[in-house]
């Protein structure tokens, strides 16, 4: 085979050489047509494989030996015993036992007595009945005061609460009796034993009220509150007041429209006025409606509304309908750390004998100018938020315009003992009347709250005032500055303590003596500012029994809250509180 291939290769090479020589000899080869009948298709010939397995020719060729494995076990004694796993325990605070009833008794200087009692009865799972009784009294004994100056204040409250699936409702019955003395005499009257003996300064206030409310869980009618009450004194003065206030809420997409209605009826009478025996009667019915739209836009909250009010006084020649702004807004500038807020509000405010006597128990039962206050507008703006997780702040400035603002003013007295001989017990310059004033007030308020931890909480605030009067010389008996500080500290499981501080700036009043109805010598009196420090501490024996001690007016200042009315000096009280279940 190989020899044949070599012969063919040699023959081809000889032919190629002859052709090359011939081409060199003849330049023009001419043309020749070649017809290809079939293209060349190469094929691979079959190969022959060696199928025999080669035999191993080795002189060392041994057969594998079968091996059998076995385990020889020997027991070994062990003294190791693994400890059982135990879950870690979380220290739990002992739950505080809550009692439905308590009684508190305390006694102190100036023959002061305190008594409180509260009891709550669960009628069923959806209703409760409660009783609250409070009594606070003192025999007075204020240094330099020649008249009796004791007081006592007793209140009784009965309440019932019912909770249902669709609504909740409650009702309260309040009964009260307060006793005070017109002991604030000037030097002229105090120096006359005859006049002092003729004065019986004791006077009492009585009040009874029935109130209630209902709150719905669903629907546009959110609920309503109502109250009817009686207030009178030991000088045949009487007053009846009835208030009803329904509330409606209408949701519109993501916004809400609220409508607050209010009917405030007041009717009262005094047996006489200050100058003569002519009786005084007054009646006022304030009807008001306050529709508003609440808008929530991310960090912005708006409350846009108006307050429409009218005093339906039957004795008035005509009835004026007043429209006041009712706008509030707040914007979270930096989350909860910086919130800007502001508003513009106004309204018609009812003034009652009960409210005036509560704020100043030394008023005379001769208030002949009792009428509503027309609060034109209250423009305010401020910022509030958090300085840290334990401290919050609030700063606000406001400008308030009021017509017919009622101010306390010292009542005049007669100039001689002869004219005072037949005077009423409150006509010795030792009582207060009211005057009507168109007042504008600019105020700046600041407050800091400290929640240091769950055991220590503090609050400090202060407010400065600037007044502009229209009819009177001064804004009588209104302070130019006031501040307060509160702190409560739970020292440990048993001990607790607290501090309350008050500062009230200077106030002004006018003292006047008269012959008949003609003023003879009105004098401006400035009441000095005062600082009142109070503290309390206690020890909790267990969940039921605890003891307490209080110190009021710790600096012992006999400051005057009203003209010629010094307060008690350093006061101390100690007592105990006991909680229980029936």
Specify the CATH number for the domain of residue 494: 2.40.170.20
Q: Which residue shows structure tokens 């009507």?
A: 436
Name, in order, each residue with C-beta under 8 angstroms of 497's C-beta and a sequence gap of 6 or more.
488, 489, 491, 535, 536, 537, 538
Task: Output the CA–CA distances (angstroms, integers) from residue 54 to 51, 74, 190, in the order listed.
Answer: 9, 52, 148
In-domain check, residue 113: no
Supply the pLDDT for residue 93: 62
Between 491 and 76, the more confident residue is: 491
CB 242 within 8 A of CB 227: yes
Confidence of residue 218 (pLDDT cuts 50, 70, 90): confident
Range name among 92-96, 322-326, 479-483 with the lowest pLDDT average: 92-96
For the cut 60, the answer to whether the pLDDT of residue 438 exceeds it is: yes
Mean pLDDT over 306-311 rounds to 96
In-domain check, residue 396: yes
569 closest CA partner among 554, 580, 579, 581 = 554
For the cut 80, the answer to whether the pLDDT of residue 81 exceeds it is: no
Confidence of residue 86 (pLDDT cuts 50, 70, 90): low
Strand intervals (E) in 335-424: 338-349, 373-388, 391-410, 413-414
Supply the pLDDT for residue 245: 97
In-domain check, residue 47: no
Residue 370 token pair: 């009792």
In-domain check, residue 287: yes
For the cut 80, the answer to whether the pLDDT of residue 146 exceeds it is: yes
pLDDT in tens, 275-300: 888 999 999 999 999 999 999 888 99
Please report how many Cα atoms fall inside a 13 Å half-sphere around the Cα of residue 455, on the Cβ side.
Answer: 8
In-domain check, residue 384: yes
Mean pLDDT over 264-285 rounds to 94
CB 309 within 8 A of CB 324: yes
pLDDT in tens, 226-259: 999 999 999 999 999 999 999 999 888 778 899 9
Supply the pLDDT for residue 530: 96
Range of the domain at 402: 189-198+206-537
In-domain check, residue 476: yes
Supply the pLDDT for residue 319: 83
242 closest CA partner among 229, 223, 224, 225 = 229
Supply the pLDDT for residue 252: 81
Secondary structure class of 107 (helix, strand, coil): strand
Confidence of residue 67 (pLDDT cuts 50, 70, 90): low
The tally of domains found in the chain comes to 1
Range name among 20-29, 42-51, 133-142, 304-313 with the lowest pLDDT average: 20-29
Between 557 and 48, the more confident residue is: 557
Confidence of residue 98 (pLDDT cuts 50, 70, 90): confident
Mean pLDDT over 181-186 rounds to 95
Confidence of residue 70 (pLDDT cuts 50, 70, 90): low
In-domain check, residue 304: yes
Between 6 and 482, the more confident residue is: 482
For the cut 50, the answer to whether the pLDDT of residue 174 exceeds it is: yes
Mean pLDDT over 446-453 rounds to 93
Supply the pLDDT for residue 478: 97
Between 77 and 292, the more confident residue is: 292
User: How high is the mean pLDDT of the chain?
Assistant: 87
Confidence of residue 452 (pLDDT cuts 50, 70, 90): confident
Range name among 25-29, 350-354, 516-520 with the lowest pLDDT average: 25-29
In-domain check, residue 148: no
115, β-bridge pairs: 105, 135
Mean pLDDT over 538-551 rounds to 96
């Amino acid at each position: 085979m190989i020899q044949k291939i070599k012969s063919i290769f040699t023959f081809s090479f000889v032919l190629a050489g002859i052709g090359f020589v011939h081409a060199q000899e003849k330049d023009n080869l001419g043309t020749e047509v070649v017809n290809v009948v079939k293209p060349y298709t190469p094929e691979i010939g079959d190969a022959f494989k060696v199928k025999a397995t080669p035999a191993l020719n080795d002189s060392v060729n041994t057969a594998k030996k079968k091996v059998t494995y076995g385990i020889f076990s020997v027991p070994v004694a062990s003294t190791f015993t693994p400890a059982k796993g135990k879950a870690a325990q979380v220290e739990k605070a002992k739950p505080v036992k809550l009692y439905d009833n308590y009684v508190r008794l305390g006694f102190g200087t100036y023959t002061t007595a305190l008594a409180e009692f509260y009891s709550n009865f669960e009628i069923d799972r959806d209703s409760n009945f409660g009783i609250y009784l409070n009594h606070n009294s003192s025999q007075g004994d204020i240094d330099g005061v020649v008249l009796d100056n004791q007081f006592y204040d007793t209140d009784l409250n009965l309440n019932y609460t019912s909770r249902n699936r669709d609504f909740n409702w409650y009702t309260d019955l309040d009964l009260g009796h307060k006793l005070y003395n017109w002991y604030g005499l000037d030097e002229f009257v105090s120096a006359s034993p005859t006049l002092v003996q003729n004065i019986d300064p004791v006077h009492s206030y009585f009040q009874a009220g029935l109130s209630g409310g209902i709150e719905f869980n669903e629907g546009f009618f959110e609920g309503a509150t109502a109250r009817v009450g009686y207030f009178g004194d030991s000088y045949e003065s009487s007053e009846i007041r009835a208030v009803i206030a329904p509330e409606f809420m209408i949701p519109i997409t993501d916004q809400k429209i609220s409508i607050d209605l209010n009917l405030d009826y007041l009717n009262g009478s005094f047996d006489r006025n200050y100058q003569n025996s002519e009786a005084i009667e007054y009646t006022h019915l304030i009807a008001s409606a306050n529709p508003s739209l609440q808008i929530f836009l991310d960090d912005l909250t708006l409350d846009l509304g108006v307050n429409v009010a009218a005093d339906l006084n039957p004795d008035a020649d005509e009835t004026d309908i007043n429209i006041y702004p009712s706008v509030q807004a707040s914007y979270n500038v930096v989350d909860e750390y910086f919130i800007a807020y502001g508003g513009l509000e106004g309204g018609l405010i009812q003034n009652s004998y009960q409210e005036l006597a509560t704020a100043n128990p030394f008023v005379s039962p001769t208030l002949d100018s009792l009428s509503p206050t027309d609060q034109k507008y209250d423009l305010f703006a401020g910022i509030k938020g958090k300085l840290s997780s334990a401290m919050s702040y609030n700063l606000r400035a406001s400008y308030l315009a009021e017509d017919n603002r009622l101010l306390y003013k010292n009542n005049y007295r007669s100039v001689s003992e002869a004219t005072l001989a037949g005077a009423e017990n409150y006509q010795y310059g030792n009582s207060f009347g009211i005057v009507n004033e168109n007042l504008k007030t600019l105020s700046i308020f600041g407050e800091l709250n400290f929640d240091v931890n769950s055991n220590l909480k503090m609050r400090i605030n202060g407010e400065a005032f600037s007044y502009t009067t229209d009819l009177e010389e001064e804004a009588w008996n209104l302070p130019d500055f006031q501040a307060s500080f509160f702190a409560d500290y739970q020292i440990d499981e048993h001990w607790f303590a607290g501090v309350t501080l008050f500062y009230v700036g200077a106030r002004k009043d006018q003292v006047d003596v008269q012959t008949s109805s003609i003023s003879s010598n009105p004098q401006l009196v400035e009441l000095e500012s005062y600082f009142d420090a109070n503290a309390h501490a206690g020890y909790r024996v267990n969940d039921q029994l605890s003891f307490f001690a209080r110190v009021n007016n710790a600096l012992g200042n006999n400051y005057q809250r009203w003209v010629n009315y010094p307060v008690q000096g350093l006061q101390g009280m100690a007592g105990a509180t006991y909680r229980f279940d029936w």
